[in-house]
Chain A
Amino acid sequence: MSDTHGHSHPHPPHPNQPDIEDAPLTHYQILELAVAELLIEKGIFSGDDMRRTLEMIDARSPADGAKVVARAWVDPEFKARLLEDTNAAAAELGIDAGTIPITTVENTPSVHNAIVCTLCSCYPRLLLGLPPDWYKSRAYRSRLVREPRAVLAEFGTVLPDDIEVRVHDSTAELRYLVLPMRPAATENMDEAALAKLVTRDCMIGVTVPAPPPD
């Protein structure tokens, strides 16, 4: 191996990215390992059950939420059911949204919704998959409730002053999903094409769906 790797000037080797084992385990990592081992040891569930559950969670992605949103855009009666009971509406599309009640909040020309969990990082994982790291960051959690418009602007979302920005702080055993507005110039698109416009971030409420590319 050479340190020059294509540069014309030699320089000291780049530092290696540390392996996971190079950093000490935190208190909560040790606690989590210990609790998981105990639950398996006591037969509450098996290692196989745990693996299956993790695989189920890992398999979820924002595509599930996008399917739900696209259906709501094309079917007003589905939208009404979605706003009434999101878990049941998702089940109609074959999506298991789990047992924690999810509430869908609808963006309108006068209200823009955005979701945060200031206490931890509650997130509708069964509709959106694992949350992005920034959603769990202290900066997002503290700033979205204090200066929501500044945070949204950093995501490229600049909203007019006559719109109400409504931030939802998810502090109980409830989860929230934003139903964005259907972009203009999508009248001729079918449900599957519409779903491709629906990103994770617009279902958190930090962006709005981009209009279709020309």
Chain B
Amino acid sequence: MSAPRFPVGAAVRIRRAYPPGHVRAPFYLRGCAGAVSHIVGDMANPEEFAYGRCDGPPLTVYRVRIRQPDIWPDYAGPAQDTLVVDVYENWLEPAEQEAT
């Protein structure tokens, strides 16, 4: 079990990156910031696993909660609506890192 890089409550951003291959960070959430709501634990890295590389180090998986208006600036519903997504640690960075 690797030590999770981010604690519950940490402000995190899903990296705005567009690498080729099998990735699990949904396109529509890249660049979005939210907060860690839950640390799921270690899981196999799907970006390696998808190509038959099964013995690499696992990644911590987090549940990240994002306010809908932070995903869609024109979100039609109330501002407290949220989305929770499972994110592998290699896709997260501290939310402060990126000046927006």
A binds B: yes
Structural contact, B40 and A145, CB atoms closer than 8 A:
no
Chain B residues lying within 8 Å of A86, measured Cβ to Cβ, are: none
- A164 contacts B81, CB within 8 Å? yes
Determine the chain B residues whose CB is within 8 A of the CB of A164 once the complex forms: 78, 80-82
The answer to whether B84 touches A168 (Cβ under 8 A) is yes
Interface-located stretch among A12-20, A169-177, A191-199: A169-177
List the B side residues contacting A165 at CB < 8 Å: 77, 81-82
Task: From known contacts A166-B83, A171-B86, A172-B43, infer whether A148 and B77 are also in contact, taking CB-CB under 8 Å.
Answer: yes
Contact count band on B: 20 to 34
| Bitwise interface map of B from 56 to 97 toward A, beta carbon under 8 Å scored 1, else 0 | 000001000100100110001110111111111000000000
**Main SS of the interface on chain B?**
mixed
Number of A-B residue pairs, CB cutoff 8 Å, is: 68
With A147-B76, A148-B77 in contact, do A173 and B83 touch (Cβ < 8 Å)? no
Most buried by B among A147, A166, A170, A171: A171
Scan residues 4-25 of chain A and give those whose CB is less than 8 A from a CB of chain B: none
A214 an interface residue at 8 Å Cβ cutoff? no
Shortest Cβ distance from A172 into B: residue:
B86
What count of chain A residues pass the 8 Å CB interface test? 22
Q: B26 in the interface, Cβ–Cβ < 8 Å? A: yes
Using a CB-CB cutoff of 8 Å, which residues 24-69 of chain B contact chain A? 24-26, 28-29, 40, 43-44, 46, 61, 65, 68
Point out the residue from A119, A148, A171 that lies within 8 Å of B81, measured CB to CB: A148
3 shortest A-B CB distances, which residue pairs? A172-B86, A169-B85, A165-B81
Query: Which residues in A have some Cβ–Cβ distance to B below 8 Å?
Result: 101, 118-119, 145-150, 161-162, 164-174
